[in-house]
Amino acid sequence: MKYSFPHSLIAGLVASSLVLAGCGVSTSSDSGTPSAQSATSDSGQTPTPESPEASPTATPNDYVASPPENVKAPKKVNGGPPLISRIETKRKIVFLTIDDGYFTDPRTAAVLAEYGVPATQFLTNNSVNGDRYRYYQAISQRDGQTIQNHTMSHPDLKTLSYGAQRDQICQTNEKFQQAFGQRPFMLRPPYGNFNESVRKAANACGIDYIVNWSTTMPKDKLRYQVGNKLRPGDIILTHWSEPFHKWLRGLIKEVHRQGFKFGALQDYLPKK
Ligand SMILES: [Zn+2]
């Protein structure tokens, strides 16, 4: 499937059409409810449980880039949040995003912790409600991790009225503020489907950026929009799925093999 978007991205960011639909996962899997403890790294790193706000940056290492020195926050477009599909940069960095939230496998949390890789979690409220919140609370307290808005119930926002769009986005922000102590400031619209009404609704809910993607990894292999390798600033779409812990480890190694490191999206798209 192919989605196209208004090519009205602001200067400094790269517009690109999306090749693959995101977020095929819609099943309600109850694959267990790991405790916050089980999401702790087995490599000795521990979350900082008292911190209400995630650290904006991850600790640099062989897989994780140092924070940027100078960043210009992208400006509003048409009075609302800009649509971002890729970060304009010359640095060999890419950005990991993980969507939906049904599959709370402690092995996946362990892989994230083992490498210290920052990730932006675009979760739906309905996929993480109940006990699954605890899994993501533990992850969100680690350096470089943030929980962002992927709506309440994963509708195609383009099919909804403005009021319904606003409910989907604002209610998720309120729920996540309560659950995670951080108010989401990025929105990933389900399926990447976006229109100007969504922009207006997102703006009304306090969203600073609408974030899609430029590369996907639907299973164990990367799929590039352009060419056959990663490009600086690629935003990689993945999903909480099974067996994502294996695919994630493969992704981290492949990024490293291509000479790239992971950056933290919130360093380049700072909260306003
Ligand atoms: Zn999704």
152, 214, 145, 211: which is closest to 182 by C-alpha?
145
pLDDT in tens, 250-265: 999 999 999 999 999 9
C-alpha 213 – ligand 1 centre gap (Å) = 12
Calculate ∠ Cα 173-177-183, nearest 5°: 70
> Predicted confidence band at 176 (pLDDT cuts at 50, 70, 90)?
very high
Cβ atoms of 146 and 174 within 8 Å: the answer is: no
C-alpha 211 – ligand 1 centre gap (Å) = 12
* CA pair distance 139, 147, nearest whole angstrom: 9
C-alpha 261 – ligand 1 centre gap (Å) = 25
pLDDT at 31: 33
Q: Is 89 inside a domain boundary?
A: no
pLDDT at 184: 98
C-alpha 44 – ligand 1 centre gap (Å) = 32
Q: Is 119 inside a domain boundary?
A: yes
Q: What's the average model confidence in pLDDT over 132-144? A: 92
Q: Is 242 inside a domain boundary?
A: yes
C-alpha 268 – ligand 1 centre gap (Å) = 22
pLDDT at 4: 37
Calculate ∠ Cα 186-229-195, nearest 5°: 30
The first and second tokens of residue 9, run together, are 């991205």
C-alpha 70 – ligand 1 centre gap (Å) = 31
> Can you say whether residue 42 is alpha, beta or left, with left for phi > 0 and alpha for psi between -120 and 50 degrees?
alpha
Number of domains in the chain: 1
C-alpha 33 – ligand 1 centre gap (Å) = 20
* CA pair distance 217, 219, nearest whole angstrom: 5
Q: Is 237 inside a domain boundary?
A: yes
> Predicted confidence band at 22 (pLDDT cuts at 50, 70, 90)?
low
User: Does residue 65 register a pLDDT over 60?
Assistant: yes
Q: Is 245 inside a domain boundary?
A: yes
C-alpha 227 – ligand 1 centre gap (Å) = 25
C-alpha 189 – ligand 1 centre gap (Å) = 8
Q: Which of 8-12, 47-51, 58-62, 247-251 has the lowest mean pLDDT?
A: 8-12
C-alpha 190 – ligand 1 centre gap (Å) = 5
Q: Is 46 inside a domain boundary?
A: no
User: Does residue 61 register a pLDDT over 70?
Assistant: yes
Cβ atoms of 148 and 184 within 8 Å: the answer is: yes
CATH number of the domain at 212, please: 3.20.20.370
The first and second tokens of residue 109, run together, are 């949390």
Q: Is 70 inside a domain boundary?
A: no
C-alpha 121 – ligand 1 centre gap (Å) = 10
pLDDT at 154: 97
Q: Write down the pTM of the prediction.
A: 0.82
Residue 124 structural domain:
101-268
C-alpha 167 – ligand 1 centre gap (Å) = 17
- Extract long-range pairs of 223-232: CB within 8 Å, 24+ residues apart: 223/19, 223/20, 225/16, 225/17, 225/18, 225/19, 226/16, 229/258, 230/94, 230/255, 230/258, 230/260, 231/86, 232/89, 232/90, 232/91, 232/92, 232/93, 232/94, 232/260
254, 230, 271: which is closest to 86 by C-alpha?
230
Q: Is 49 inside a domain boundary?
A: no
C-alpha 191 – ligand 1 centre gap (Å) = 6
Q: What's the average model confidence in pLDDT over 38-66? A: 59
